[in-house]
Structure 1
Amino acid sequence: MKVAAYVKTSLVDFPENIASVIFTQGCNMNCPYCHNKDLCTMKDMVDNQDIISHLAKRAGTIQGVVISGGEPTLQPRLKDNCRKIKSMGFKVKLDTNGTNPRIIKELIKEDLVDYIAMDVKAPPQKYRDLCGLDFRDVEESFNIIKSFKNHEFRTTFYPLLDASDIKDIVDMTGTKNYYLQQYRPISDDSPPSYESESVRDLCRDLKIKYRGI
């Protein structure tokens, strides 16, 4: 598995768990607000064995491992790595854009993942405008994950979206496992973000969870 970065300890990436975070290389979307674009072209990879060695030393302290990206389901050895991490006694959380439903289905069937977070980029009518793919490219994964016991859907509130778009997404996801994330500009040319208080107000109105920067 090609690993572009590794965070040894995180208190925020895996709900109710202290976790390490693996960032895999490469993505098949092109979201304008992505803060991990450099992972797609990074040449220096983190050695997988170094990660396993670190996890072995942290057993009892680290409870889970987040496999993020980039897009992890592009990695041909993803299942092997999940299997190894699970065998060490850690929980596994997958962050995904939902473009590989076959892999997601296999991970669930083989009990190789404990929590799945899927980015829902936009309502169906704006999906291509935001990430370059149509919603039908992720719809199967969306339905699989919606039926999985431990999951979340999340949307970054990029200025291409408005309140009515978020409502359309919530109509699909429901409110229980949905998070609206604050957008942060990545360059001087990026559009400004919505005011945090207005985003919080929208979350209160829709009865959804707010996730700040």
Structure 2
Amino acid sequence: MILGGLQKLTLLDFPGTVACTVFTVGCNLRCPFCHNPALVFNPPEEYRISEEEFFAFLKKRQGILDGVAITGGEPLLHSDIGEFIAKIKSMGFKVKLDTNGTFPDRLEKILAEGNVDYVAMDLKNTFEKYAETVGIEGFDVSLIKRSIKLIEDSGVDHEFRTTVVSPLHSAGDFEQIAKQVEGSDKYFLQNFVDSGELLNGEGLSELPREELEKALEGAKKIIPQAKIRGES
């Protein structure tokens, strides 16, 4: 497992849990609005952490932290992710897994092993706009559809979320996006923030507040509990 960084404490990344966040390296998508481009490719050495260092940190935090959020990059890109999760779980921590949903076979195996307590999947756009949004020509959206079903049927606590980016999204897209995950009760909109370190951010911007609220209204037609991230 190649790890690109560690946030030693978070009260936000893992709902209801005092946790740390560990970042895996590498991603198979090329979303132009990605705010972690160093993790997509090759992070500087000073941000990297070995598995040995990570697990030594966890051992010291037993009884202090309750959980570990695993994000990326794309964690399921790594063939040994299941073993990594199992080791964390064996130390008494709850596990949250972030994913882009493009590795349904690995996701299915991990869900079946029962070591994940919470899954957060990025839902990039309507299925029709997926290829453009993830920067992959001819992208196979059936991978996303399968992952959605696996998560919804798993019984594992989960959420779906969409980073809202103009012009990739318009307010009118969100009723359709919500329909794609209408079997779930947690769906979050996250307005785009330009970190200044985007993968390819030219021409991208956040949705104006009025449009963001219209987007939420559309999503709520399908999922009444839909929210804008960070707002009650």
TM-score interval, normalised by the smaller of the two chains: over 0.9
The separation in 1 between residues aligned to 2:61 and 2:7, in whole angstroms, is 13
Match of 2:162, SS state, is strand
Tell me which residue corresponds to 1:172. 180
- After superposition, the C-alpha distances for 1:43-80 in whole angstroms (9 at most, x for unaligned) are 52311111111111111221110111000011122111
Root-mean-square deviation (Å):
1.8
Tell me which residue corresponds to 1:14. 14
**Residue 201 (structure 1) shift:** 4.9
Q: Which moved more, 1:62-71 or 1:201-210?
A: 201-210
* Pairing 1:209–2:227 present: yes
Tell me which residue corresponds to 1:136. 142
Gaps of 5+ in 1: none
Match of 1:138, SS state, is helix
- After superposition, the C-alpha distances for 1:18-49 in whole angstroms (9 at most, x for unaligned) are 11111100000000111111112225231111
Match of 2:191 among 179, 182, 194: 182
Give yes or no for contact 2:68–2:94 (8 Å, CA) kept in 1: yes
Give yes or no for contact 2:96–2:119 (8 Å, CA) kept in 1: yes
* Pairing 1:151–2:152 present: no
The separation in 2 between residues aligned to 1:189 and 1:162, in whole angstroms, is 17
The separation in 2 between residues aligned to 1:71 and 1:135, in whole angstroms, is 17
Tell me which residue corresponds to 1:47. 50
Gaps of 5+ in 2: none
Structure 1 segments of 4+ aligned residues over 4 angstroms from their partners: none
Q: Tell me the number of residue pairs that the alignment of Structure 1 and Structure 2 aligns.
A: 213
Tell me which residue corresponds to 1:26. 26
Match of 1:72 among 50, 69, 75: 75
The separation in 2 between residues aligned to 1:156 and 1:92, in whole angstroms, is 23
Q: Which moved more, 1:154-163 or 1:175-184?
A: 175-184
TM-score by length of 2: 0.86
Q: Percent identity?
A: 36
**Residue 202 (structure 1) shift:** 3.4
TM-score by length of 1: 0.93
